[in-house]
Amino acid sequence: MSDLDPAALAARLARDVPGLRAVLLFGSTLAPATRKATSIPDLIAIVDDVAAAAAAFHPGPIARQLACVLSPVTFALREPDAAVTLAKVNVISCAATRAALAHPDDLSLAGRLAKKTRLLYARDERARTETAALLAEATDVMACATTLALPRVVSLAQASRRCFALSYRAEPRPESPAQLATRFRAFARDYRARYQPLLASAARARGIDVVGDFLVDQRPAAVRARDADALARLLFRSRARALARWARQLFVYRGWLPYLAGKLRRAWATDA
């Protein structure tokens, strides 16, 4: 794990990244149950302009051009002339985030923002409020997508687990079901509190009954099949775009091969 704590990493980004609005921490380093000695902090940096911000990570003109396509773009935060990666920084503009959530044709970003995060830095009170609104909208997007393909009868607690897991289905991921279960349990109370009201609201809007703590879908099979197809198409686009982002990492992420090898090794390791 990075020698610098996440707050120090955020302070460094605030110093070095032009137009930085907010920094969020997410991923395995958020909780002791999921944190490992080799874990690298995952950060989301919301900026005014991605091309300008990219210069703080990779000075090459090609990398800056590629960074503006298929947001967010992930950079390795390193010390100058050092091989150790301090954090993975997912950079996206505030405008691109709003657009991606307003018309979601890719669940990768919404899935990340809908999971547990910690605000490490906000440029001002307006940025703090904007970031909170984006997180709430992302959670709503994932709840709406989850209700596209649920069993006929499912508890809100089970639907919350599905909402959390859907974010991982939006990208090709190496994590095992046991690892995903551990990550959900780390913040289960928070996820249920946030997801369940939105799942109930989204279900009602789709014509699914909310009976106590259960969702009961009595709609015709043809309607359910249409919704399930819509989710399948959305997931296909999300995975295709994720693969395109991975290909871009060869040009923008310093040390991409050791990072990928380490991630696969950690994901496939048996739980101690």
Q: Residue for token digits 């989204």?
A: 202
Predicted pLDDT at 257: 58
How do the pLDDT tens digits run along the chain, 272 residues long?
455 689 999 999 999 999 999 999 998 888 887 877 777 899 999 999 999 999 888 767 877 788 888 889 999 898 776 678 889 999 999 999 999 999 988 999 999 999 999 999 999 999 999 999 999 999 999 999 999 999 999 999 999 999 999 999 998 877 788 888 999 999 999 999 999 999 999 999 999 999 999 999 999 999 999 999 999 999 999 999 999 988 888 888 876 656 655 555 554 554 43
The answer to whether 4 and 12 have CB atoms below 8 angstroms apart is yes
Predicted pLDDT at 59: 65
Predicted pLDDT at 271: 45
Predicted pLDDT at 70: 86
Predicted pLDDT at 32: 82
H helix runs in the chain, sequence order: 6-16, 50-54, 61-67, 94-102, 108-114, 125-146, 156-169, 177-186, 188-205, 221-252, 256-268
In this structure, which long-range contacts are made by residues 125-131, counting pairs with CB atoms below 8 Å and at least 24 apart in sequence?
127/21, 127/22, 127/46, 128/22, 130/21, 130/22, 130/94, 131/21, 131/22, 131/24, 131/46
Nearest CA among 28, 78, 73, 37 for reference residue 248? 73
Predicted pLDDT at 184: 94
CA distances from 257 to 224, 225, 262 (A): 42, 40, 9
Q: What is the CA radius of gyration of the chain?
A: 19
Write down the pTM of the prediction: 0.89
